[in-house]
């Protein structure tokens, strides 16, 4: 049974706040954030005022166009900051791939995106991992953090900020935040005894544990700990959190996770310990160098400190005025409590606005168990990228796993899906069309795509589907977005088969003209596919765009509005046709992968794919 003996709160606060740092800070007069509502302590006693803290959408309209009411042109999104106890695995890569697709989509909408990721480097788990490897914690963190950066490069992750919790600017922000919360009367000292899961870095309720006090996520026994710690008065925020969620049901997504969060809050919030006496590898508690700040109380602040420029004064105020509040925290469902309960309460205590949304996705599983470093049942993302290329990996996981739910990996299914969707439906359609254009029209478009498609049924279908894809992206329905773009590809394939331009080209002048127009219509369809799929498969999309005769610079300048029909113009000359996506030959993936050129790499080779169909 966990038990806590609370020292006198007054005494602790007096003890802690008798310092120059805290004395210079007056909690009743803070009103200096650009992005927050100023507050006085009085606000905390009034539940009706709690919504003031929430910058999230107040729409109660369920899951439709979930960011549409934000209005602003900034979009700040975050991945969790990954523990550096071990190198990344496919589970950690999954959150980042999804975040990257969302960031790229928001950039297409011409939002000013700040995409934040990084590494969580303090705490017992990391110190133990370093010791096991025979390194110092800081050397260990440098190596593993670098492995994350390298993987993000391999996976074409377009992050804007990479924050490490060992960065001095982060440490300064954490200390300032701690001091604010303390000054607000929300930190006290107490003894604690309970069962601790080192892998979760969390004290557990005995009732939530398996036999032998095993953690249900990590299947390892929790250890009994007794410590004299500082506590955060989470219980004080119970009513305000309830109110925030009542007024902003969109704060937690998908909607079915909201019930879980509401359940936790309803069952009664307990104060939690935010310092560790037994852990050296961490940020020292201001004015008590014998304790370090609890790794979660430290790492969550990374979302704020990441906003600071390297040469900027490391203060909370500067960080907050540089983009806070975040539009979206993308996380796995295992860390929902920290993000949807602890974090908002911490922010309220410090008088900082709340993020707009926390989205908890599901797990990648292997044999039904969460894939993870602690269980050792991971899938190597670097290996997958080397064998199949970044676009295949990104596409497979985003298409295959309905965002929010769990999904199991199978290599057989991976190969089947990638071959069918990317190599056949998209790659082959482009290749055969370009082949026909080269043979019959010197690779040059005969007419504007707008003119070619007047009253055309494929154009009508594409317009409808591309709008549908936009709505799916907007609602973070990434799998449905992929599926819808593929439907455009299917419609294009159906059209070319029905029209059979290869036959028309042989049937005299009028039929030749129709065939030439049909090719323009299909290539315009491909252009739109390339843009609409670019959040998911940026490398593949660039290759499609290049084949259509555009430069990389032109590709980098596209926006979602370019999905409007009519981009390709008469006279545009297509590039030399070559397969844009190699079919994976079962068993010989390692050889075929090299055909999928990475953006900027010179490794392009002719794939061992089936030669393009030129009917
Ligand atoms: N360090 C904390 C996060 C602090 S954020 C301020 C942490 N790190 S973690 O490395 O353990 O996990 C990071 C993310 O990876 C979490 O969102 C977690 O859900 C996700 N995943 C880890 N394994 C996963 C799967 N098998 N499948 C999908 N995502 C999973 O928690």
| CB-CB contact of 392 with 600 (8 Å) | no
How far away, in angstroms, is 539 Cα from ligand 1 center? 26
Atom of ligand 1 nearest to the CA of 373: 23
Query: Which one has a higher pLDDT value, 457 or 217?
Result: 457
**For residue 15, pLDDT beyond 80:** no
CA dist., res. 276 & res. 526, Å (int): 57
Please list, in sequence order, all residues whose beta carbon lies within 8 angstroms of the beta carbon of residue 124, skipping any fewer than 6 positions away: 198, 201, 276, 278, 279, 281, 295
Please list, in sequence order, all residues whose beta carbon lies within 8 angstroms of the beta carbon of residue 196, skipping any fewer than 6 positions away: 202, 203, 204, 222, 223, 224, 225
How far away, in angstroms, is 79 Cα from ligand 1 center? 9
How far away, in angstroms, is 563 Cα from ligand 1 center? 34
Atom of ligand 1 nearest to the CA of 365: 26
List, for residues 549-607, the tens digit of each pLDDT value: 999 999 999 999 999 999 999 999 999 888 889 899 876 443 334 334 333 333 333 22
CA dist., res. 563 & res. 481, Å (int): 14
pLDDT at 367: 72
pLDDT at 435: 96
Q: Which of 146-160, 224-238, 328-342, 535-549 has the lowest mean pLDDT?
A: 224-238
* Exposed/middle/buried for residue 305 (C-beta within 10 Å: 0-12, 13-18, 19+): buried
Residues framing ligand 1 (Cβ under 6 A): 80-83, 91-92, 94-95, 120, 299-300, 302, 331-332, 334-335, 363-364, 370-372
Q: Which of 42-56, 199-213, 455-469 has the lowest mean pLDDT?
A: 42-56
Atom of ligand 1 nearest to the CA of 371: 26
How far away, in angstroms, is 157 Cα from ligand 1 center? 17
**For residue 138, pLDDT beyond 70:** yes
Atom of ligand 1 nearest to the CA of 85: 10
Ligand 1, pocket-test mutation among 95, 274, 346, most atoms within 8 A of CB: 95
Atom of ligand 1 nearest to the CA of 299: 6
Specify the pairing of strand 364-366 against strand 272-273: unpaired
Averaged pLDDT, 13-35: 28
Ligand 1, pocket-test mutation among 77, 78, 80, most atoms within 8 A of CB: 80
Ligand 1, pocket-test mutation among 91, 293, 366, most atoms within 8 A of CB: 91
pLDDT at 197: 87
Helix or strand run (H / E) with residue 414: helix 411-418
CA dist., res. 195 & res. 189, Å (int): 19
pLDDT at 587: 61
Please list, in sequence order, all residues whose beta carbon lies within 8 angstroms of the beta carbon of residue 578, skipping any fewer than 6 positions away: 431, 547, 606
**For residue 368, pLDDT beyond 90:** no
CA distances from 410 to 364, 422, 486, 593 (A): 11, 18, 21, 18
Q: Which of 55-69, 81-95, 365-379, 410-424 has the lowest mean pLDDT?
A: 55-69
How far away, in angstroms, is 333 Cα from ligand 1 center? 9
Q: Within the chain, what is the greatest distance between any pair of CA atoms?
A: 96
**For residue 60, pLDDT beyond 60:** no
| CB-CB contact of 552 with 542 (8 Å) | yes
CA dist., res. 534 & res. 542, Å (int): 8
Ligand 1, pocket-test mutation among 92, 177, 367, most atoms within 8 A of CB: 92
Specify the pairing of strand 112-120 against strand 74-83: parallel
Atom 6 of ligand 1: nearest residue by CA position: 300
Query: Which one has a higher pLDDT value, 320 or 191?
Result: 320
Which among 565, 573, 570 has a CA at the least distance from the CA of 450? 565
List, for residues 179-210, the tens digit of each pLDDT value: 999 999 999 999 888 888 888 888 888 888 88
How far away, in angstroms, is 334 Cα from ligand 1 center? 7
Query: Which one has a higher pLDDT value, 122 or 408?
Result: 122
Count Cβ atoms below 10 Å from residue 60 Cβ, excluding itself. 10
Query: Which one has a higher pLDDT value, 536 or 54?
Result: 536
How far away, in angstroms, is 154 Cα from ligand 1 center? 19
Please list, in sequence order, all residues whose beta carbon lies within 8 angstroms of the beta carbon of residue 79, skipping any fewer than 6 positions away: 95, 96, 99, 116, 117, 118, 330, 331
Question: Which residue is it, tokens 């008590």?
Answer: 288
Ligand 1, pocket-test mutation among 82, 174, 306, 371, most atoms within 8 A of CB: 82
**For residue 499, pLDDT beyond 50:** yes
How far away, in angstroms, is 92 Cα from ligand 1 center? 6
pLDDT at 268: 93
pLDDT at 27: 31
Question: Rounded to an integer, what is the distance from CA 245 to the centroid of its chain?
Answer: 22
Averaged pLDDT, 479-490: 98
How far away, in angstroms, is 145 Cα from ligand 1 center? 15
The CA-based angle 227-1-233, given to 5 degrees, is 55
pLDDT at 65: 46
pLDDT at 230: 96
pLDDT at 331: 98
Decide: helix, strand or coil at residue 34.
coil
pLDDT at 105: 98
Q: If pLDDT is split at 50, 70 and 90, which confidence band does 39 have?
A: very low
Q: If pLDDT is split at 50, 70 and 90, which confidence band does 405 have?
A: very high
How far away, in angstroms, is 331 Cα from ligand 1 center? 7
Ligand 1, pocket-test mutation among 200, 334, 337, most atoms within 8 A of CB: 334
Prediction pTM value: 0.85
Q: Where are the beta strands (DSSP E) in 26-91?
A: 74-83
**For residue 342, pLDDT beyond 50:** yes
What share of the chain in percent tops pLDDT 90? 71
Q: If pLDDT is split at 50, 70 and 90, which confidence band does 282 have?
A: very high
pLDDT at 45: 27
Averaged pLDDT, 289-295: 95
pLDDT at 586: 74
Atom of ligand 1 nearest to the CA of 303: 6
DSSP 8-state class, residue 57:
-
How far away, in angstroms, is 82 Cα from ligand 1 center? 6
How far away, in angstroms, is 142 Cα from ligand 1 center? 19
What share of the chain in percent tops pLDDT 70? 83
CA dist., res. 333 & res. 407, Å (int): 13
Q: If pLDDT is split at 50, 70 and 90, which confidence band does 101 have?
A: very high
Averaged pLDDT, 130-157: 97
Averaged pLDDT, 252-270: 94
Averaged pLDDT, 16-29: 28
Atom of ligand 1 nearest to the CA of 331: 17
Q: If pLDDT is split at 50, 70 and 90, which confidence band does 212 have?
A: confident
Please list, in sequence order, all residues whose beta carbon lies within 8 angstroms of the beta carbon of residue 287, skipping any fewer than 6 positions away: 16, 19, 21
pLDDT at 593: 40
Atom 25 of ligand 1: nearest residue by CA position: 91
The CA-based angle 506-511-516, given to 5 degrees, is 90
Which among 463, 470, 361, 471 has a CA at the least distance from the CA of 64? 471
CA dist., res. 286 & res. 21, Å (int): 9
Decide: helix, strand or coil at residue 373.
coil
pLDDT at 202: 82
Averaged pLDDT, 476-498: 98
CA dihedral 68, 74, 315, 310 (to 10 degrees): 150
Atom of ligand 1 nearest to the CA of 362: 28
Averaged pLDDT, 159-169: 98
Specify the pairing of strand 288-293 against strand 275-276: antiparallel
**For residue 168, pLDDT beyond 90:** yes
Six-digit token string for 337 = 């409590």
Decide: helix, strand or coil at residue 284.
strand
How far away, in angstroms, is 339 Cα from ligand 1 center? 12
CA dist., res. 292 & res. 310, Å (int): 25
């Amino acid at each position: 049974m966990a038990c806590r003996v609370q020292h006198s709160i007054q005494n602790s606060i007096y003890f802690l706040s008798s310092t120059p740092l805290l004395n210079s800070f007056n909690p009743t007069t803070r009103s200096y954030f650009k992005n927050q509502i100023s507050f006085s302590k009085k606000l905390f006693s009034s539940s009706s005022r709690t919504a003031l803290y929430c910058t999230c959408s107040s729409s109660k309209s369920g899951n439709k166009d979930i960011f549409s009411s934000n209005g602003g042109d900034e979009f700040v999104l975050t991945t969790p900051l990954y523990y550096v106890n071990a190198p990344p695995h496919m589970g950690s890569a999954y959150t980042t791939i999804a975040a990257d697709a969302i960031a790229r989509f928001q950039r297409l909408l011409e939002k000013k995106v700040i995409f934040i990721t990084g590494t969580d480097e303090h705490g017992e788990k990391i110190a133990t991992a370093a010791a096991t490897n025979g390194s110092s914690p800081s050397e260990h963190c440098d190596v593993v953090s670098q492995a994350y950066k390298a993987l993000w490069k391999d996976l074409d992750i377009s992050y804007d900020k990479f924050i490490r919790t060992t960065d001095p600017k982060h440490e300064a922000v954490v200390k300032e935040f701690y001091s604010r919360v303390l000054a607000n009367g929300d930190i006290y000292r107490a003894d604690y005894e309970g069962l601790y899961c080192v892998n979760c870095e969390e004290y557990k309720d005995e009732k939530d544990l398996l036999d032998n006090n095993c953690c249900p996520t990590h299947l390892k026994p929790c250890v009994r700990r007794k410590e004299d710690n500082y506590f955060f008065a989470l219980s004080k925020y119970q009513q305000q959190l309830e109110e925030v969620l009542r007024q902003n049901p969109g704060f937690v997504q998908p909607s079915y996770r909201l019930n879980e969060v509401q359940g936790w809050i309803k069952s009664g919030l307990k104060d939690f310990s935010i310092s560790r006496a037994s852990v050296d590898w961490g940020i020292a508690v201001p004015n008590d160098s014998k304790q370090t700040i609890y790794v979660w109380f430290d790492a969550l602040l990374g979302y704020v400190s990441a906003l600071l420029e390297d040469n900027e004064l490391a203060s909370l105020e500067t960080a907050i005025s540089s983009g806070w509040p975040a539009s979206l925290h993308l996380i796995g469902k295992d860390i929902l409590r920290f993000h949807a309960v602890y974090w908002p309460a911490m922010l309220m205590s410090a008088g900082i606005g709340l993020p707009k949304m926390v989205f908890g996705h599901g797990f990648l599983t292997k044999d039904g168990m969460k894939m993870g470093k602690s269980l050792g049942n991971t899938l190597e993302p670097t290996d997958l990228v080397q064998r199949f290329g970044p676009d295949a990996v990104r596409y497979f996981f985003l298409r295959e796993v309905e965002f929010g739910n769990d999904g199991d990996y199978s290599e057989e299914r991976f190969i089947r899906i990638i071959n069918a969707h990317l190599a056949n439906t998209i790659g082959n359609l482009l290749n055969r069309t370009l082949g026909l254009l080269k043979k019959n029209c010197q690779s040059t478009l005969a007419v504007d795509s707008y003119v070619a498609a007047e009253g055309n049924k494929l154009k009508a279908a594409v317009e409808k589907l591309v709008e549908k894809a936009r709505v799916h992206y907007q609602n973070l329905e990434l799998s449905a977005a992929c599926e819808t773009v593929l439907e455009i590809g299917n419609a294009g394939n159906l059209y070319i088969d029905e029209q059979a331009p290869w036959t028309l080209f042989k049937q005299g002048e009028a039929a030749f003209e129709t065939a030439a127009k049909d090719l323009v219509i299909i290539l315009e369809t491909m252009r739109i596919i390339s843009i609409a799929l670019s959040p998911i498969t940026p490398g593949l999309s660039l290759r499609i765009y290049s084949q259509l005769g555009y430069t990389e610079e032109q590709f980098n300048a596209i926006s979602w509005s370019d999905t409007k029909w009519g981009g390709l113009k008469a006279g545009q000359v297509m590039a030399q046709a070559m397969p844009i996506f190699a079919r994976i030959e079962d068993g010989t993936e390692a050889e075929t992968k090299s055909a999928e050129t990475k953006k900027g790499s010179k490794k392009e080779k002719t794939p061992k794919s089936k030669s393009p169909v030129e009917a």
